[in-house]
Structure 1
Amino acid sequence: MPHNPILEELRSLREQVTGVMESAVATTDGLLVTADTDGARPEVISALAAATLGLGRRTGAEMGLGELREVVIRCRGGYVVVYAVGRMGLLAVLADEGLDVARLHVESRPTVERLNKLLTQGNPN
């Protein structure tokens, strides 16, 4: 299996943060880059996360709140968190109700920075 540094970042996030179940990296237009999923459909995650990110960016801009960092959706069964990765990428994280949200935010910041570097280098994986 070829070395995939983006997938390694996703797996590391799952290992570091209690409650993270699945994740995906996609472009802001919803195209899947790579995913660490077991049951979720990564193409669907990518498309919905792109729409979520777009709405969050637009809302933040309208409210004058500056650049979007993340959108957090809490449901009865868990969370969906979408992080902006630079201007052209996103990280979608699916987590259960036991998610340590504060820990996720702390661990995601360096992950997002590393993902941004990988995406801007044009890494095909």
Structure 2
Amino acid sequence: MSHDEVLTELHALRDRITGVTETAVASVDGLLVTADTDGARPEVLAALSAATLGLGKRTGSEMGMGELREVVIRCATGYVVVYAIRRSGLLVVLADEGLDVMRLHVESRPTVERLGLLLDGVPADY
């Protein structure tokens, strides 16, 4: 895996979607892979996002709703969106109030797939 390639994906997502302010990729256990952040502390963002992803996965599983795709948190001044990258990673996106959440979901799917390939080195088996 090339950290430069992962960072290129993060920059591209940030550039394509109005409102995206910061992004990071981490493992599901909260270890930072790489980040495109200005104000957030990347290691803290990775750890909290992993906890968020874990809670979302557990809730979805308990409710019988299938595999988790993303968790969206809406705050007073913006959004935190955590996407599952296969079974081993996550993408976290911080955005301001101007974010078009539906556009982010559409645009992030190919990004998540490419990040999965970069992290695992093999095409998805699902």
Q: Specify the TM-score bucket, using the shorter chain as the normaliser.
A: over 0.9
Structure 1-normalised TM-score?
0.94
Q: For 1:4, what is the secondary structure of its paired residue?
A: helix
The superposition leaves residues 19-68 of structure 1 with CA deviations (integer Å, 9 ceiling, x where unpaired) of: 00000000000000000001110000000000000000000000000000
- Cα 1:3–1:75, aligned 2, differ >3 Å: closer, same or farther? closer
Identity in percent:
74
After superposing on structure 2, the runs of 4+ consecutive aligned residues of structure 1 that deviate more than 4 Å are: none
How do residues 71-86 of structure 1 correspond to structure 2 at under 5 angstroms? 71-86=71-86
Q: Any residues of structure 2 matched to 1:52-63 within 5 Å, and which?
A: 52-63=52-63
Shift of 1:3: 7.1
Q: Residue 28 of structure 2 aligns with which residue?
A: 28
For the residue of structure 1 that corresponds to 2:30, the secondary structure is: coil
> Taking structure 2 as the reference length, what is the TM-score of the superposition?
0.93
Aligned to 2:117: 117
The one-letter code sitting in structure 1 at the alignment partner of 2:117 is: K
* Corresponding residue number in structure 1 for 2:49: 49
Name stretches of at least 5 consecutive residues in structure 1 with no aligned partner.
none
Root-mean-square deviation (CA, aligned residues, Å) is 1.3
For structure 2, the residue ranges without an aligned partner over 5 or more in a row are none
Letter in 2 for 1:109: R
2:98 maps to 1:98: yes
The alignment of Structure 1 onto Structure 2 pairs a total of residues equal to: 121
Map Cα deviations across residues 81-116 of structure 1 (whole Å, 9 max, x no partner). 000000000000000000011110000000000000
Residue 121 (structure 1) shift? 1.8
